Amino acid sequence: MAVPAVVAPPPIPSDQARALLKALADPLRLRVIEALGSGERCVCDLTGDLDLAQSKLSFHLKVLKEAGLLADRQEGRWIYYRLRPEAIEQLRRWLAALGAQCGRPSPLCP
């Protein structure tokens, strides 16, 4: 019996990759991503760990969530954020496809 081949989804469109990269380009947002790399965190923990005012952190969390990098859930009065691994995987596949093509030589000029 043949095992069906697992086909990886195609890389994301360039405009979606640009949106993800733009969200990650800010050093503070990158710190948020790194803080969430070990798992879900409450906003109250993130403000203390990153030494940020809640209003400033909320803005950056909103940008990351709108870009599709974060998911959240509310429990009582607290909001918990986590990375969306599928978004990171999509960006990884886009970068891999870019890397696979960048070694091609240029055609000769006429």
Contact assessment for residue 60 and residue 28, using Cβ atoms and an 8 Å cutoff: yes
The answer to whether position 60 is within a domain reads yes
Give the per-residue pLDDT at 55.
94
pTM of the model: 0.82
Domain count, the chain: 1
Give the per-residue pLDDT at 110.
85
Q: Is the pLDDT of residue 72 over 80?
A: yes
- Tell me the backbone φ, ψ of residue 29, rounded to 5 degrees: -65, -35
Q: Which residues pair with 72 in a beta bridge?
A: 81
3 band by pLDDT with thresholds 50, 70 and 90: low
CATH number at residue 50: 1.10.10.10
Give the per-residue pLDDT at 9.
64
The residue range of the domain holding 18 is: 14-91
